[in-house]
């Protein structure tokens, strides 16, 4: 009963955040890679430094991407469904592209980050209709929430365990923390430093926070210089001791 109660509460919170953002306490680490981005180099002409989660949006791909790592359904409708549960337990099938066999340990570690702190479980795909399909791609990216069928999660060689955990949390229904309605109490968006056509990535999503604390150190939070036009900060925390953009672990779900 206690386990089922935990799952019920977990999915209730996920449901609340589907139209908003998610919050999971964590610690600090920034994962970045050097990528050439035409038109947005540093003042010295060097390639930009970007986290793997933003590369998808800059890449030449057919799938529409917003906020760097969020894929849009073809019909662009808002996500309004959760992964189905059986007897109060949600165990999500996953399938790995064969080219990722050598990184299976990293992928399983990302699942473990979630299962250690939540009631969500993962199991290898057999013949299920709905499953997470982890495939190679430019950067890391995912849909938000349950889509049905073979739901892709892109996992590039540049992506770490924490990056993949971030994407799976998107697949479970969580949006980015920095788009919460109360974010301006905790961070300041430096709009002049944001790449002009990426400013929508920093727009607030309306919704009820259900009195959950804003977490600038969430694994779902942007780092300091995401989508910077010149390498300068795009987000400044109002607390100097806050470190944003870590991709290390989830703390206990409370």
pLDDT digits (tens, 9 = 90+) for 75-88: 433 345 678 887 77
Confidence at residue 36, expressed as pLDDT on a 0 to 100 scale: 47
Query: What residues are annotated to the active site?
Result: 167
DSSP, collapsed to helix, strand or coil, labels residue 59 as coil
* Whether residue 198 has pLDDT greater than 70: yes
| pLDDT category of residue 52 using cuts at 50, 70 and 90 | confident
Q: Looking at residue 199, what is its pLDDT?
A: 93
Q: What is the pLDDT of residues 235-246, one digit of tens each?
A: 999 998 888 888
**By C-alpha distance, which of 178, 180, 252 is closest to 209?**
180
As a whole number, the mean pLDDT across the chain is: 77
What does DSSP assign to residue 231?
S
Alpha-carbon distances, residue 243 vs 68, 165, 181, 220, 221 (angstroms): 20, 19, 20, 13, 10
Residue 191 has pLDDT above 70, yes or no: yes
Q: Looking at residue 238, what is its pLDDT? A: 93
Predicted confidence band of residue 11 (pLDDT cuts 50, 70, 90): low
Q: Confirm if 185 and 237 have CB atoms less than 8 A apart.
A: no
Handedness of CA 12, 16, 22, 24 (dihedral sign): negative
Averaged pLDDT, 170-190: 91
DSSP letters spanning 184-252: GGTEEE-GGGB-GGGGGGGPPPP---TTPPP-TT-TTS--TTTTBSSSS-SEEESSTT------S-PPP
Highest mean pLDDT pick, 24-33, 104-113, 214-223, 232-241: 104-113
Residue 222: closest CA among 205, 239, 236: 236
How confident is the model over 90-109, as pLDDT tens digits? Answer: 999 999 999 999 999 999 99
What is the DSSP code (8-state) at residue 88?
T
Q: How far apart are CA 189 and CA 177, in angstroms?
A: 13
Q: Is the pLDDT of residue 172 over 50?
A: yes
Q: Is the pLDDT of residue 247 over 70?
A: yes
């Amino acid at each position: 009963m206690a386990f089922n109660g935990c799952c019920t509460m977990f999915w209730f919170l996920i449901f609340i955040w589907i139209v908003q953002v998610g919050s999971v306490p964590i610690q600090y680490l920034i994962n970045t890679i050097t990528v050439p981005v035409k038109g947005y180099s540093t003042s010295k002409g060097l390639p930009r430094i970007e986290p793997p989660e933003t590369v998808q949006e800059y890449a030449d791909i057919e799938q529409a991407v917003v906020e760097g790592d969020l894929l849009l359904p073809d019909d662009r409708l808002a996500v309004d469904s959760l992964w189905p549960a059986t007897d109060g337990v949600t165990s999500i099938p996953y399938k790995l592209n064969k080219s990722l066999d050598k990184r299976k340990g990293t992928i399983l570690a990302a699942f473990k980050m979630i299962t250690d702190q939540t009631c969500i479980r993962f199991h290898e795909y057999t013949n299920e209709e709905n499953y997470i399909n982890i495939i190679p791609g430019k950067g890391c990216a995912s849909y938000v929430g349950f889509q049905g069928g073979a739901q892709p999660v892109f996992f590039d060689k540049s992506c770490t365990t924490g990056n993949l955990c971030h994407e799976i949390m998107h697949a479970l229904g969580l949006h980015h923390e920095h788009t919460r309605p109360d974010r301006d109490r905790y961070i300041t968006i430096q709009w002049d430093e944001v790449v002009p056509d990426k400013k929508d990535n920093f727009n607030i999503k309306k919704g009820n926070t259900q009195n959950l604390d804003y977490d600038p150190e969430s694994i779902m939070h942007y780092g300091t210089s995401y989508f910077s036009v010149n390498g300068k900060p795009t987000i400044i925390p109002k607390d100097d001791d806050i470190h944003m953009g870590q991709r290390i672990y989830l703390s206990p779900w409370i």
